[in-house]
Amino acid sequence: MSERVFEEIKIAKNGIKYFLEENHSFPSLSIGVFVRSGSRYEEEKFQGIAHFIEHTVFKGTRKRNAFEISREIEKLGGEINAYTSSEHTLFYVKLLAKDAEKGFDILSDILKNPTFEDSLIEKERGVILEEIQEYFDDPQDICQTEALKSIWGDSSAANSPLGGEGTVKKIEATDLKNYFNKFFNSNNIFISVAGDIDDILLNKFIDRYFSDFNKVKFTPDIGEPSFVFENRRFEKDTAQIHIAFTFKGSKLFSRENVVSSIFNTVLGGNMSSRLFQKLREERGLVYTIYTYPVRLLDTGGTVIYVSTTRNYQSEVESIITGEIESIRRDGVSQAEFEDAKSFVSGNLILGLESTSSKMQRNGIQGLLIGKVKKSEKLLEEIESIDLDEVNLYAKNVLDTKLGKVVVGKI
């Protein structure tokens, strides 16, 4: 029998799926409740509603007000927070192991008993609108969001979790309640815990605090988006020009996902990368240049982001497209490949030092694909990648049309 690649996903007495990565070397733990709720699942008129709910559940429950929710964790030296992405929302706490039960108490309270009071919703609507305005103050944020639209056009895969000012202003309390009751159910959540706790105690807490969680059977279903790779421009009064080139990438949890990490590292993923060395170290044309993958469950893209002055724009774009063509035509060298593979492996190992990063890595896998790959198997998979595989991947993704986003004084 072959050695198992995946860890065991467990099911609590109440039917909720969870995963525990025990680590008793330090008396702390991270607890995350992942919900399959995000911007990709939103109707056009409700864009931003998942993020709105993420904010609103912290504003008050039937047992606690907003101050009490944060105070009960923070007075223990802990942290409580949340974020919304394209395909999931995460609610989490990090605290000392001796206070684990308080973490489960608070998280279950905000996810089972939010009041959605009109006055609190209106106040938080103002906070979210301020967050959207803050986003529009940052041309780098704009460029990265426009890059998603360059990759997938009008598809919901390109939606910003923040939503738009117009849609956020129109979302009502009944909309929030309906969405919450539909998406926040026991079939649509996954609990991930990493740190100083054993399975017996964890199972006890999940059963105690989540046994009466909403039992509605609903899982969102979406179609795979098509690539468009549009050229997009966003006029903004800025000192620099902000540019993003877009092209194909890899989907989450695939072998290509690992190959693309090595490829991205060579192209622009660190200070040793081709684009950083060419544009910043050798030419002094930019301060910020990097490449990153955008990965979803069924598709993925790649973004090269750079900011520079208008005087250098043409030269910078020429160097970037030149390096893209060089890798497409000639591939990456053996030395580049070996360095990038070591970098990706090292990053994975360093990430395992943190209970927060373990909790998030395990939770995303558990929620979206229902299994968690063993860390040592991930390392083995990285080690198994060879140069030919990376160069074939590079040619495949670079042989297609490129998109381009420009933000600034145009």
Taking only the tens place, the pLDDT of each residue in 312-344 is 999 999 999 999 999 999 999 999 999 999 999
Percent of the chain with pLDDT over 70: 99
CB 359 within 8 A of CB 33: no
pLDDT of 12-36, one tens digit each?
888 899 999 999 999 999 999 999 9
- Which residue in 7, 21, 42, 54 is the catalytic one? 54
Residue 101: per-residue pLDDT: 98
- Determine the Cα–Cα distance for residues 239 and 261; give it in Å rounded to an integer: 32
**Do 202 and 235 belong together in one domain?**
no
Strands 189-195 and 17-22: parallel
pTM: 0.95
- Tell me how far the alpha carbon of residue 79 is from its chain's centroid: 19
Domain assignment of residue 272, yes or no: yes
The answer to whether the CB of 147 falls within 8 A of the CB of 305 is yes
Residue 317 and residue 177 share a domain: no
Query: Is 180 contained in some domain?
Result: yes
Examine residue 220 and state whether it is found in any structural domain, yes or no: no
Residue 368 phi/psi, 5° resolution? -85, -30
In a shared domain, residues 183 and 283: no
Segment holding 246, helix H or strand E: strand 241-248
pLDDT of 1 reads: 34
Band of residue 2 on the pLDDT scale cut at 50, 70, 90: very low
Could you tell me if 175 and 308 lie in one domain?
no
The mean of the pLDDT values for the chain is 95
Question: Do residues 137 and 251 both lie within one domain?
Answer: no
pLDDT at 50: 98
Does one domain contain both 47 and 192? yes
The answer to the question of residue 299 being in a domain is: yes
Single out the residue in 175, 210, 245 at which a domain terminates: 210
278 and 403 share one domain: yes
Do both 353 and 256 map to the same domain?
A: yes
Q: What is the mean pLDDT of residues 148-173?
A: 96
359, 196 contact by CB (below 8 A): no
Q: Beta strand 403-408 with 241-248: parallel, antiparallel or unpaired?
A: antiparallel
pLDDT of residue 3: 64
What are the tokens at 349?
């190992």
Q: How many Å separate Cα 163 from the centre of its chain? A: 16
Q: What are the two backbone dihedrals, phi and then psi, of residue 10, each rounded to the nearest 5 degrees? A: -105, 160
* Percent with pLDDT over 90 in the chain: 92
Q: Under a CB-based contact definition with an 8 Å cutoff, are residues 256 and 338 in contact?
A: no
Which residues have CB under 8 Å from 126's CB, separation 6+? none
Same domain for 238 and 331, yes or no, is yes
Q: Is residue 223 part of a domain?
A: no
According to DSSP, the residues that pair with 407 across neighbouring strands are 234, 242
**CA–CA distance, 402 with 410 (Å, rounded to integer):** 20
Task: Decide if pLDDT at 293 tops 80.
Answer: yes
Q: How far is CA 22 from CA 118, 194, 201, 270, 343, in A?
A: 41, 6, 12, 31, 26
Torsion of CA 186, 83, 229, 406, to 10 degrees: 170
- The phi, psi pair for 118, rounded to 5°, reads -55, -45
Q: Which domain holds residue 404?
A: 231-408
The last residue of a domain, from among 178, 210, 242: 210
Q: Which of 220, 177, 187, 192 is nearest to 39 (CA)?
A: 220
Cα separation values, 71 from 80, 211, 296, 310, Å: 10, 25, 35, 48
Based on the fold, state whether residues 308 and 349 are members of the same structural domain.
yes
Averaged pLDDT, 138-160: 96
99 domain-assigned = yes
225 within a domain of the structure (yes/no): no
- Check if 124 is active-site: no
Number of compact structural domains in the chain: 2
The string of pLDDT tens digits covering residues 345-383 is 999 999 888 999 999 999 999 999 999 999 899 999 999
Q: Which of residues 88 and 15 earns the better pLDDT score?
A: 88
Residue 242 lies in a domain: yes
- Residues 47 and 112 grouped into a single domain: yes
- Alpha-carbon distance 149 to 147, whole Å? 5
| Cα-based angle 207, 63, 131 (whole degrees, multiple of 5) | 100
Cβ atoms of residues 188 and 4 within 8 Å: no
CATH code of residue 261: 3.30.830.10
Quick count: other Cβ atoms within 10 Å of Cβ 361? 21
As a whole number of angstroms, the distance between CA 370 and CA 190 comes to: 9
The answer to whether the CB of 85 falls within 8 A of the CB of 57 is no
State mean pLDDT over 119-135: 96
Same domain flag for 269 and 364: yes
